[in-house]
A and B are shown apart, each in its own frame.
Chain A
Amino acid sequence: MASTSCSLLRLEPGSMGSIQRIEGMNPILRRRLADLGVSEGVMIRLKGKGPFLGPITLECNGQLFAIRRKEASMIEVNVS
């Protein structure tokens, strides 16, 4: 099946994709994400979206965490 890449925000809540690229992100956040094991090639799942266009909840390697939508849009994922 052909894979398409899109912004993480486009994922349906509950579905997952593999991270293709993370670009233009604040370096502090980028490092913190790397600490949590979020980097290229890793599977990431969108769990849900918070109130008032607030942060979105993500799951990666069994760890739940939340980041803001603006930053999440910088993560590009591959969905097969």
Chain B
Amino acid sequence: MSSIALVGNPNTGKTSLFNTLTSSYEYVGNWAGVTVEKKVGSLKNGAGKLIDLPGIYSLHPLSRDEGVATQYLTEESPEALINIVDASQLERNLLLTLQLLEYGKPTVLGLNMMDVAKARGISVNPEVLQSRLGITVLPLIARTGKGSGQVLSVLEKTSAIPRVTFKLDYGELAEEAIASIEKELQAIQGLPNLRWIALQLMEQNPVVLELLKKRVDTSRLMAICDSCQSELQSRKLALTLPQWIRSVRMDFIRSLCAAAMDTTLIKPHNLTERLDAVLTHRFLGLPLFIIFMYAMFKTTFDWIGGPLSDMVDGFISGPLSDGANSLLQTIGASGFTHALIVDGIIGGVGGVVVFVPQIFILFLMISFLEDSGYMARVCLLMDSTMERMGLNGKAFIPFIIGFGCNVPAIMAARSIEQPKDRMLTTLLLPLMSCSARLPVYLLFAAVFFPAQQATVVLTMYVLGVVFALILCKLFSKYLFKNESSVFIIELPPYRMPQMKTLGRSTWEKGKGFLRKAGTIILAGSVIIWLMSYAGPSGLNVDMDNSFLAKFGGMIAPLLHPLGFGTWQAGSTLVPGFLAKEVVVSTMNIIYHASDAAGLEGQISQVFTPLSSVSFMAFILLYTPCLATVGVIKKETASWKWTFFSIGYSVALAYIVALVIFQGGSLLGLS
């Protein structure tokens, strides 16, 4: 099996092409840094494996996702490369292309976004590129899949892709240095192309330097670079060696672009300019963002999501439960089985499935934000606020993704350049209210604040963001060295998301929720139900004497000051650590409610409006779920920070819930 790697600048459509060429589906979006981990898929024609790498501008990584791509190229050996370039941004894209050609593997150039280039009045001539670079150049429109057939047929036989013969002359001085470095490296086994290694070393690429340090004493190599640099300086050719290499490449690219591109008819990004004039307006931008968010919540909870959820609830509590009941009676199921299925599984899982419509609509909205190009603008709008808090605006992309699920959001933090900013973002992300916490708010808001559901839910989300910002300030002041953060963000052209892409990415996000309903929520429901059904005195006990009550009762005294010191509330919190949806399943089981109305009635007897707010805030903040803890450990590579993220959130949740309940009580609220 041959393996072929997709390489290119960020946001040039590598993943879109990956999705059309393979039978797998990976996450796409319209900003730089969507793909943060290498993804492997099988080519549709069975010719081998395709590897999708995070976008890079050069082989010199700055952020962690870029490190993934560079490391792959230095340590593994793909048979061929597909270099995707953005036809509307050719000059910048070709800088990477040259480095890839020096890498020496058979390469195909995918000239993507031909439609975008055409719309901007740029015409690119693939033949000129093909003859000057000596590689196959294929025009593409990856978003629609146009041209992907040709790519697939070229990849059919990777051995037939011609070897790269391209060689750029770096001038007498540099060429001498390259030759001496190559000579030094000859003895070492298993290195990729030596000329490429030499050039990357001369450019001070840290990954290549690390690679060589493991094998050889690099001081001689560095001496060659140094003497070449001082020679360049004394002849006034360049200040540094990397600068010289870069300028030779740029000269070549400019002459190539002049020959291959016709920009006489170039037009500005009309749509993007007009939208940006309003959406990033210095006074209107932020209020508009807030209005969009509010509209998004209104749609999700009141306008569309709510009525749909009611329909699902009607089905589960009506036909489904009744059907199950009569079926179980007909087949003569035992009392145990009957209770397990109706109270445990239908009650527990069904109680969460009710919220599927809202969660899918929320995911649809997030997908729209991701695909339109507005995400990057939000970062721009939020940067000055974030800077004051010690972070940068780029962290807002993970924050918004976190409203869907914290796990991919923490991964998304990889594209943040500075380690301190990345760590802070990772630690604070669990405060972003994910879709799993949503059912809890929806349930309580429906019981206690039926008229202001969207407002209550939005308040919870805002509360999460506000605490993230406050803690960000504290953490960056006391926990990290005071390195200032930098901010730079590429603003991609806006585009209208395609229905197909939106549907696909919504489904891919929502699928995880459904899968959880069938696995962890189902398992959790069965265990919780068993614990409520069994007690020290045997099976089918009164629930107040069950193991669940005993267990919840141990935690209850701790929760008393927060306003929900009952065993029922206590026993929801521990399974909630596994998956936050289980909080609602547990409540369904405990309160023996077959439908939402029954549950709502039960809850209104145990909670008060004030204690419900305190409980919602507690659920919002109390701990990252198990899956999130796993990914925090993976990304920070530190148990210390992982436990810290659990510890601070539990403490924060307790304090906030305490202040809400005690403060509210003092003010005479109940």
Cα of A31 to Cα of B59 in the assembled complex, Å: 12
Which residues in B have their C-beta under 8 angstroms from that of A65? 488-491
Which residues in A have their C-beta under 8 angstroms from that of B282? 48-51, 54
The interface-forming segment of A3-11, A16-24, A66-74 is A66-74
Tell me if B269 is interfacial: C-beta within 8 Å of chain A: yes
Tell me if B184 is interfacial: C-beta within 8 Å of chain A: no
Asked if residues A54 and B417 are in contact (CB atoms below 8 Å), the reply is no
CB-CB contacts below 8 Å: B85-118 with A: 88-89, 91-92, 95
B380: contacting residue among A26, A34, A55, CB under 8 A = A55
Tell me if B286 is interfacial: C-beta within 8 Å of chain A: yes
Asked if residues A54 and B88 are in contact (CB atoms below 8 Å), the reply is no
Tell me if B486 is interfacial: C-beta within 8 Å of chain A: yes
CB-CB contacts below 8 Å: B228-286 with A: 246, 266, 269, 272, 276-277, 280-283, 285-286
Asked if residues A48 and B277 are in contact (CB atoms below 8 Å), the reply is yes
Asked if residues B486 and A53 are in contact (CB atoms below 8 Å), the reply is no
Asked if residues B490 and A67 are in contact (CB atoms below 8 Å), the reply is no
Asked if residues B384 and A54 are in contact (CB atoms below 8 Å), the reply is yes
CB-CB contacts below 8 Å: B115-129 with A: 120
Which residues in B have their C-beta under 8 angstroms from that of A34? 246
Which residues in A have their C-beta under 8 angstroms from that of B57? 32, 35-36
Which residues in A have their C-beta under 8 angstroms from that of B491? 57, 64-66
A55: contacting residue among B58, B272, B487, CB under 8 A = B487
B92: contacting residue among A26, A47, A63, A68, CB under 8 A = A63
Cα of A68 to Cα of B487 in the assembled complex, Å: 7
Which residues in A have their C-beta under 8 angstroms from that of B418? 28
A28: contacting residue among B62, B89, B277, CB under 8 A = B62
Asked if residues B88 and A62 are in contact (CB atoms below 8 Å), the reply is yes
**Digit string of B569-607 for contact with A (CB within 8 Å is 1, else 0)?**
000000000000000000000000000000000000000
- Given A55-B393, A57-B491, also A68-B276 (CB < 8 A): no
**Minimum distance in angstroms from B281 CB to a CB of chain A:** 8
Which residues in A have their C-beta under 8 angstroms from that of B393? 54-55
**Minimum distance in angstroms from A31 CB to a CB of chain B:** 6
A50: contacting residue among B58, B246, B380, B492, CB under 8 A = B380
Which residues in A have their C-beta under 8 angstroms from that of B489? 55, 65-66
Which residues in A have their C-beta under 8 angstroms from that of B385? 52
Cα of A28 to Cα of B420 in the assembled complex, Å: 13
Central interface residue in A31, A35, A36, A52, by most chain B CB within 10 Å: A35
Tell me if B44 is interfacial: C-beta within 8 Å of chain A: no
Cα of A64 to Cα of B417 in the assembled complex, Å: 19
Which residues in A have their C-beta under 8 angstroms from that of B380? 50, 54-55, 57, 66
Asked if residues B285 and A36 are in contact (CB atoms below 8 Å), the reply is no
A37: contacting residue among B91, B269, B383, B488, CB under 8 A = B91
Asked if residues A61 and B62 are in contact (CB atoms below 8 Å), the reply is no
Tell me if B156 is interfacial: C-beta within 8 Å of chain A: no
Q: Which residue of B lies closest to A68 (CB)?
A: B487
Q: Which residue of B lies closest to A34 (CB)?
A: B246
Asked if residues B276 and A48 are in contact (CB atoms below 8 Å), the reply is yes
* Chain A facing B: main interface SS: mixed
- Given A28-B418, A36-B92, A54-B380, also A66-B488 (CB < 8 A): yes
Asked if residues A53 and B488 are in contact (CB atoms below 8 Å), the reply is no
Tell me if B381 is interfacial: C-beta within 8 Å of chain A: yes
Asked if residues B387 and A68 are in contact (CB atoms below 8 Å), the reply is yes
Tell me if B516 is interfacial: C-beta within 8 Å of chain A: no
Q: Which residue of B lies closest to A49 (CB)?
A: B282
Which residues in B have their C-beta under 8 angstroms from that of A61? 89, 91-92
Cα of A66 to Cα of B492 in the assembled complex, Å: 11
Cα of A37 to Cα of B286 in the assembled complex, Å: 30
**Minimum distance in angstroms from A47 CB to a CB of chain B:** 7
Which residues in B have their C-beta under 8 angstroms from that of A55? 380, 383-384, 393, 487, 489
Asked if residues A50 and B285 are in contact (CB atoms below 8 Å), the reply is yes
Q: Which residue of A lies closest to B385 (CB)?
A: A52
**Minimum distance in angstroms from A67 CB to a CB of chain B:** 5
**Minimum distance in angstroms from B30 CB to a CB of chain A:** 13
**Minimum distance in angstroms from B247 CB to a CB of chain A:** 9
Q: Which residue of A lies closest to B492 (CB)?
A: A64
**Minimum distance in angstroms from B76 CB to a CB of chain A:** 23
**Minimum distance in angstroms from A27 CB to a CB of chain B:** 10
Which residues in B have their C-beta under 8 angstroms from that of A52? 384-385
Asked if residues B490 and A64 are in contact (CB atoms below 8 Å), the reply is yes
**Minimum distance in angstroms from B368 CB to a CB of chain A:** 20
- Given A48-B282, A52-B385, A66-B380, also A71-B486 (CB < 8 A): yes
**Minimum distance in angstroms from A48 CB to a CB of chain B:** 6
**Minimum distance in angstroms from B89 CB to a CB of chain A:** 6
Tell me if B143 is interfacial: C-beta within 8 Å of chain A: no
Q: Which residue of B lies closest to A54 (CB)?
A: B384
Cα of A35 to Cα of B316 in the assembled complex, Å: 55
Asked if residues B58 and A35 are in contact (CB atoms below 8 Å), the reply is yes
**Digit string of B389-402 for contact with A (CB within 8 Å is 1, else 0)?**
00001000000000
Tell me if B39 is interfacial: C-beta within 8 Å of chain A: no
Cα of A23 to Cα of B486 in the assembled complex, Å: 15
Central interface residue in B120, B269, B387, B484, by most chain A CB within 10 Å: B387
Tell me if B504 is interfacial: C-beta within 8 Å of chain A: no
**Minimum distance in angstroms from A13 CB to a CB of chain B:** 10
Tell me if B60 is interfacial: C-beta within 8 Å of chain A: yes
Which residues in A have their C-beta under 8 angstroms from that of B120? 62
Cα of A55 to Cα of B394 in the assembled complex, Å: 12
Cα of A34 to Cα of B57 in the assembled complex, Å: 9
CB-CB contacts below 8 Å: B362-408 with A: 380-381, 383-385, 387, 393
Asked if residues B490 and A26 are in contact (CB atoms below 8 Å), the reply is no
Which residues in B have their C-beta under 8 angstroms from that of A71? 486
Cα of A26 to Cα of B621 in the assembled complex, Å: 35
Q: Which residue of A lies closest to B10 (CB)?
A: A35
CB-CB contacts below 8 Å: A24-46 with B: 26, 28-29, 31-37
Cα of A64 to Cα of B273 in the assembled complex, Å: 10
Cα of A59 to Cα of B486 in the assembled complex, Å: 19
Central interface residue in B281, B286, B380, B490, by most chain A CB within 10 Å: B380
Cα of A57 to Cα of B273 in the assembled complex, Å: 11
Asked if residues A29 and B88 are in contact (CB atoms below 8 Å), the reply is no
Q: Which residue of B lies closest to A60 (CB)?
A: B92
Cα of A71 to Cα of B489 in the assembled complex, Å: 13
10 further contact pairs, Cβ within 8 A, besides A64-B269, A71-B486: A28-B418, A29-B486, A29-B488, A34-B246, A36-B57, A37-B91, A50-B280, A63-B89, A67-B487, A68-B387
Which 3 A-B pairs rank lowest in CB-CB distance, beginning with the nearest? A35-B57, A54-B384, A64-B491
23 A-B pairs within 8 Å (CB atoms) are namely A28-B62, A31-B62, A32-B62, A35-B95, A36-B92, A37-B92, A48-B276, A48-B280, A48-B281, A50-B282, A50-B380, A51-B283, A52-B385, A54-B384, A61-B89, A62-B120, A63-B490, A64-B269, A64-B491, A66-B487, A66-B488, A68-B383, A68-B387
